[in-house]
Chains A and B, each alone.
Chain A
Amino acid sequence: MTKVFRITILIILFFTVQSESLLSAAPNDDNTVDVVSKVLDHYYVDFSPVGKVELPRFFYDAEGFHFFGSTTAAINSETFTDEIYLEEDEPEGAKLKPVTYHVVRTDNQPILFDFSITSHLLFFWFSALLTLAIFIPLTRRYKAGQGTKSEPQGAFHNLFETFVVFVRDDIAKPNIGHNYIRFTPYLLTVFFLILFMNLFGLMPWGVSSTADITVTAVLALMTFMITQLSASKDYWKHIFWFPGVPFYIRLILFPVEFIGIFTKPFSLAIRLFANMASGKILIFSILGIIFVFNNLFGSAVAYASSPIWILMTLFVYLIKAFIAFIQAYVFTILSALFIGMAMVEHDEIHETENI
């Protein structure tokens, strides 16, 4: 019990996806709360006391595309099965249930691409749709003149205008500089997408897609591409041949600056991912203390101390709601900062060159 906890508290998503022992050991034991599976990506959406809704599976292999409505349908087909049913002999005709959700071909041919919809992807789509559903009507209003020629009407319009003006005036303008209006659409998109993804994690049964390294890595890759493509000549000059310093220092500075190109988006991705993943792990770990106390000291202590842990969980939950906004803000402002740093022109920074 305590060992499972020691392991589960420490792990973050992508190191455990391949960890077979942990994934297979956890669900079968009684009294075990699998903390890490709450932030892992699944092929189902967990509506916990009610049941699971399996998501469609979509494979591409040597025979072409295969589409199944759910994992159960996939493993009951003749071509695919769950990994654990390969070794065991199951009675013929019985309906198999997915256990590991790791689908393989029955003839052991490799599945080339697995395009299956996962819970993180589903909630990513929800956030994207929500962003579109909010901003397309808003754009129509502005095109019709409401908000530009007249006052914004209603709570919905006013609320989001506040956010948009905040991103434009407090994030884009001071950090990017004179050409900021070109990048404001990207920054707004990233801000609201990350915000909605973070907030979906606070809802019951919700999953925050930003607790997945692939989602944050793709977002950071976008910032990386925009930074490199909009970079000025001086940006590259400062990386490859730093002006105004002696020759040997240039040799030292070149690798440092070159690695710096890649560490910036890397830290963007890791920061968002670790913050969102750790919040949920923390909540379940604190709730798990009740179960640890139950094992160590008996049920009376567990019952008596549970209000403390539930209040602490509430506190962490409120912190997490705050972090959802802070991390969306930090990702956006750092993106703006990196873009702005890459766009700085020569004469704006070079008073020191002649010293």
Chain B
Amino acid sequence: MELAYLAAGLGAGLVSIGAGIGIGMIGKGAMEGTARQPEASNDIRTSMLISAAFIEGVALFGQVVCIILAFS
């Protein structure tokens, strides 16, 4: 039971690392794109938010698994 808490905590941390790296790379790409082509910034912002939302969705699936682990 105690190990399940440990696993949930570690899992939540790992999921956050993955989502952080993913969203960070999207932000990097979007910023570079906007800097090179400022007139396309609106399109870039929209697709950036959509991609970030998809990554966030995967991360939240992971968090839900961790929560189930902590309370099973």
Least Cβ–Cβ distance between B46 and chain A, in angstroms: 7
Least Cβ–Cβ distance between A304 and chain B, in angstroms: 29
Cα(A330)–Cα(B23), bound, Å: 15
Closest to B45 in A: A170
Set A15, A267, A330: member contacting B67, Cβ < 8 A: A15
Given A10-B70, A15-B67, A270 and B49 contact (CB-CB distance below 8 Å): no
Least Cβ–Cβ distance between A333 and chain B, in angstroms: 6
Residues 332-352 of chain A: 1 if any B CB is under 8 Å from the residue's CB, otherwise 0? 011001000000000000000
Asked whether B57 lies within 8 Å of A271 as measured between CB atoms, the reply is yes
Residues 19-48 of chain B: 1 if any A CB is under 8 Å from the residue's CB, otherwise 0? 000000000000000000000001000100
What's the dominant secondary structure at chain A's contact region?
helix
Answer yes or no: B53 CB below 8 A from chain A CBs: yes
Asked whether B49 lies within 8 Å of A267 as measured between CB atoms, the reply is no
- CB-defined contacts of B60 to chain A, threshold 8 Å: 267, 270-271, 274
Cα(A267)–Cα(B64), bound, Å: 11
Set B8, B61, B71: member contacting A270, Cβ < 8 A: B61
Cα(A271)–Cα(B50), bound, Å: 12
Given A10-B8, A15-B67, A174 and B56 contact (CB-CB distance below 8 Å): no
Binding site for A on B (CB under 8 A): 5, 8, 12, 42, 46, 49-50, 53-54, 56-58, 60-61, 63-64, 66-68, 70-71
Binding site for B on A (CB under 8 A): 6, 10-12, 15-16, 19, 170, 174, 267, 270-271, 274, 326, 329-330, 333-334, 337
The 3 closest A-B pairs by CB, nearest first: A267-B57, A330-B53, A274-B60
